[in-house]
Amino acid sequence: MKPCHAVKMLPPEGLISNDVLEGLMKEKRSPREPEAVWKEKDMAGGRPVDAMVVILRTNGCCWAKTGGCSMCGYRQASLGGVTEEDLNKQLDSALSAYKDEPFVKIYTSGSFLDECEIPLSIRERAFREFEGCERILFESRPEFVTEDVVKTLPRNATVALGLESSDPAVLERSINKGFTPDDVRRAGNLVKKEGLSVRTYLILKPPFLSESEAIADAVSSALFADAFSDEISVNPLNVQRGTLTERLWKNGELRSPWIWSLFDVMERLSGNVSARLMSYPSGGGSQRGVHNCGACDASALEAMEKFSSSGNLADLRVTCKCKNAWTRYMEAERLLGTAADIDRGLNNELMIQRRSDG
């Protein structure tokens, strides 16, 4: 699922350990308040509409409790001991912010359809409260998308499925997803059979994939997902705290993808899939998120946002001299046969050389 967190003001990294910090954050977070509620634009019925986004504080993703996915920081976002009553209060709070937006997205730190995380009464209440809106979107791991459950979903439901990659080896070794692409296809087909919508999430550049391998993986995954998806959301890797990905990133063993790679994925797919293509990268423009040279990041991300509404490749016309650096970077990766952060590796080498020269 798309890891997504409200922005928080935190002390600079290194001043306080992650464990202590996590403890402090949890102390301050009430189980009766949602993690975040905000408004944004999204699409419904083929046009841009206002959307309300709610992130519920839950006991967390069942899979995260057994280790979880390599890039997911949701373990930090969930609490322990959240009760049905707490979740009802969280819904009350979300409803007080609701201004008849046609689109409502309810995220948890796991699966909305997992009854251990969201009791059935809460699920049913959410469906009742938002039955008048055009679209209600929630995320689920495929094992909770059963024939019986799908029959109970409302007509305005969109089920978001975190496929990430259609390559079983990538799912197993790079992501540790705990399900196969076929599991997601089965879930997607069930939802479609019931006449409901599917939004599929893909990851661009999970650990151990080079930039060009990541592009190829996202493209083939989208072609796979197209058969059961109304929308395909490509989520470039964003390095989250306390994850395996963060450890690799700190060691210089991976670089978050270039924005040019995201453009490349969209250019290769446009016209070749029926699903709407979209990407709203979290952490974009930072070293942890999808980024280019720094000078063109804001305009490139803005272009991607436009493309996500329009589907028009003309919106991706951005130029910057770092596009050559991106091409050279991929060439160097191929020559060296590595998925590590080459720029950082080179800088470290130079520093070591300078030190030994000095």
* Contact footprint for Zn ion (CB under 5 A): 292-293, 295-296, 320, 322
**31 contact, one of ligand SF4, Zn ion, none, CB 5-8 Å limit per kind:** none
Q: Is 236 in the site for ligand SF4 (CB under 6 A)?
A: no
Token pair 């963060």 is found at 246
Considering only CA atoms, which of 115, 116, 133, 135 is closest in space to residue 124? 115
CB distance 253 to 341 below 8 Å: yes
Token pair 């305005």 is found at 156
Q: Is 208 in the site for ligand SF4 (CB under 6 A)?
A: no
Under rule CB under 6 A, how many of the chain's residues touch ligand SF4?
Answer: 11
Residue with Cβ nearer Zn ion (203 or 296):
296
Residue with Cβ nearer ligand SF4 (49 or 116):
116
Cβ 255 to Zn ion, closest distance in Å?
Answer: 15
Query: 136 is written with which tokens?
Result: 């209600």
Helix 211-225 and helix 259-269: axis angle, to 10°? 40
Residue 101 to residue 295: CA distance in whole angstroms:
35
Residue 302 to residue 23: CA distance in whole angstroms:
36
Considering only CA atoms, which of 257, 173, 169 is closest in space to residue 211? 257
CB distance 175 to 164 below 8 Å: yes
- Chosen residue from 37, 76, 101, 110 binding ligand SF4 by CB under 6 A: 110
Q: Is 112 in the site for ligand SF4 (CB under 6 A)?
A: no
**142 contact, one of ligand SF4, Zn ion, none, CB 5-8 Å limit per kind:** none
**63 contact, one of Zn ion, ligand SF4, none, CB 5-8 Å limit per kind:** ligand SF4
Q: Is 106 in the site for ligand SF4 (CB under 6 A)?
A: no
Segment near ligand SF4 (CB under 6 A); pick from 49-57, 69-77, 182-190, 346-354: 69-77
- Chosen residue from 74, 112, 208, 307 binding ligand SF4 by CB under 6 A: 74
Phi, psi values for residue 216, rounded to 5°: -60, -40
Residue with Cβ nearer ligand SF4 (82 or 303):
82
Q: Is 69 in the site for ligand SF4 (CB under 6 A)?
A: yes
Residue with Cβ nearer ligand SF4 (61 or 301):
61
- Chosen residue from 31, 34, 68, 281 binding ligand SF4 by CB under 6 A: 68
Residue with Cβ nearer ligand SF4 (64 or 104):
64
Map the footprint of ligand SF4 across residues 132-151, applying CB under 6 A.
141
CB distance 218 to 235 below 8 Å: no
- 3-class DSSP state of 134: coil
Query: 269 is written with which tokens?
Result: 């797919």
Residue with Cβ nearer ligand SF4 (64 or 209):
64
**259 contact, one of ligand SF4, Zn ion, none, CB 5-8 Å limit per kind:** none
Residue 168 to residue 179: CA distance in whole angstroms:
9
Phi, psi values for residue 56, rounded to 5°: -80, 145
Residue with Cβ nearer ligand SF4 (110 or 188):
110
Considering only CA atoms, which of 86, 90, 89, 56 is closest in space to residue 74? 56
Residue 306 to residue 276: CA distance in whole angstroms:
13
Considering only CA atoms, which of 129, 193, 125 is closest in space to residue 159? 193
Cβ 240 to ligand SF4, closest distance in Å?
Answer: 10
Q: Is 162 in the site for ligand SF4 (CB under 6 A)?
A: yes
Phi, psi values for residue 179, rounded to 5°: -145, 170
- 3-class DSSP state of 135: strand
Residue with Cβ nearer ligand SF4 (156 or 238):
238
Considering only CA atoms, which of 321, 317, 313 is closest in space to residue 295? 321
**296 contact, one of Zn ion, ligand SF4, none, CB 5-8 Å limit per kind:** Zn ion
Residue with Cβ nearer ligand SF4 (270 or 282):
282
Q: Is 63 in the site for ligand SF4 (CB under 6 A)?
A: yes
Q: Could you list the residues that contact ligand SF4 (CB under 6 A)?
A: 1, 61, 63-64, 68-69, 72, 74, 110, 141, 162
